[in-house]
Amino acid sequence: MNELRHLMSPLDLSVEELNALMDTAEKIRSDPERYAHVCDGKILATCFYEPSTRTRLSFESAMLHMGGRTMGFASADSSSAAKGESVADTIRIISCFADICAMRHPKEGAPMVAAAHSTIPVINAGDGGHQHPTQTLTDLMTIRSLKGTLSGMTVGLCGDLKFGRTVHSLIQALLRYENVRFVMISPEELKLPGYIIEELKTKPNAGFAEITKLEEAMPMLDILYMTRVQRERFFNEEDYVRLKDFYILDKKKMRLAKEDMIVLHPLPRVNEIAVEVDQDPRAKYFEQVKYGMYIRMALILMLLRIEI
């Protein structure tokens, strides 16, 4: 019998598996017709206990583009969680109805609890301020497609590095490639959690610096990954208000960057990228969304063990 696989962290996949996933996603992108019915009869459940537009619809769109169907809920209020049902019980039920489940939850570790009680593959679609592996797959595929490689890059990560789960997953994933340098750009209060710093320190092939001024970092970067200040994870509104506009990427700052630097953002954007930057050919955050759908298609195929 095939072993049941889940995706909780990008490290659940080997570098070879990651590369194979990106290859499949590229094949789907270049010949979507060929994949239009590969999931006929399959059902994806999206269990979202926390708001989302992109991630949930990206999963649903991925399944629909392969002929499968989708079901689920988009907030904790519209599920039995509102009545006090545990994640463990909910996934036991979902396992009877669907073939695969994407779960987002405000509590760190909740999708892991689900995976432990599930008889279908569970994908972590974001757990609190912890991890967001499918955003990382999206980011890796975008970088590989636009830059041709994942090695030898100087990557600037800017904004809320403390609560930004996409940043945590992306660092862990990029650390497995050769010669990646990170420039962490954040206010003092929103620096990376200690456990990620410790991982960075153990990797001799990676360098990192922590700085506060975005202008200082701009000229060195090949990739600038902007993030939103995660309002929902703050303990008080005053701190959020004080920090929310700490960084605003605008045309003036873009003038300091290399001609071929690319700007990424997991979205949603609030104020951290001025709308005027959208016209800059280096702004790739909307293109990034498209890659997200293809890589989720490839992931669903992999976890459902559907081979073409």
Q: Residue 270 gets which letter from DSSP?
A: S
Q: Smallest distance from the beta carbon of 55 to ligand NCD, in angstroms?
A: 4
Q: Smallest distance from the beta carbon of 308 to ligand NCD, in angstroms?
A: 27
3-state helix/strand/coil string of 68-109:
CEEEEECCHHHCHHHHCCCHHHHHHHHHHHCCEEEEEECCCC
How far is it, in rounded angstroms, from Cα 30 to Cα 24? 10
- Whether residue 132 lies in the annotated active site: yes
Q: Smallest distance from the beta carbon of 156 to ligand NCD, in angstroms?
A: 17
Residues 105, 132, 176, 181: which binds ligand NCD (CB under 6 A)?
132
The identity of residue 73, as a single letter, is: F
Q: Does residue number 267 form part of the binding site for ligand NCD (CB under 6 A)?
A: yes
- Whether residue 55 lies in the annotated active site: yes
H-helix or E-strand spanning residue 254: helix 251-254
Q: Smallest distance from the beta carbon of 160 to ligand NCD, in angstroms?
A: 8
How far is it, in rounded angstroms, from Cα 165 to Cα 50? 14
How far is it, in rounded angstroms, from Cα 51 to Cα 62? 19
Nearer to ligand NCD by C-beta: 55 or 154? 55
**Site for ligand NCD, residues 157 to 216, rule: CB under 6 A:** 165-166
Q: Does residue number 126 form part of the binding site for ligand NCD (CB under 6 A)?
A: yes
Q: Smallest distance from the beta carbon of 51 to ligand NCD, in angstroms?
A: 9
User: Residue 93 is encoded by which pair of tokens?
Assistant: 């039920």
How far is it, in rounded angstroms, from Cα 292 to Cα 4? 23
Q: Smallest distance from the beta carbon of 52 to ligand NCD, in angstroms?
A: 6
Nearer to ligand NCD by C-beta: 229 or 303? 229
- Whether residue 130 lies in the annotated active site: no
How far is it, in rounded angstroms, from Cα 164 to Cα 201? 20
Residues 135, 145, 169, 186: which binds ligand NCD (CB under 6 A)?
135
Residues 65, 130, 168, 228: which binds ligand NCD (CB under 6 A)?
228
Nearer to ligand NCD by C-beta: 38 or 143? 143
Nearer to ligand NCD by C-beta: 68 or 129? 129
- Residues 263, 26 contacting (CB under 8 angstroms): no
* Bridging pattern class, strands 180-185 and 154-158: parallel
Beta strands in the chain (DSSP E): 43-48, 69-73, 100-105, 122-127, 154-158, 180-185, 206-211, 223-226, 262-264
- Per-residue binder mask for ligand NCD (CB under 6 A), 43-72, x = binder: -----------xx-----------------
Q: Does residue number 266 form part of the binding site for ligand NCD (CB under 6 A)?
A: yes
Catalogue the active-site residues. Answer: 54-55, 83, 104, 132
* Site residues, ligand NCD (CB under 6 A): 54-55, 126, 132, 135, 165-166, 228, 266-267
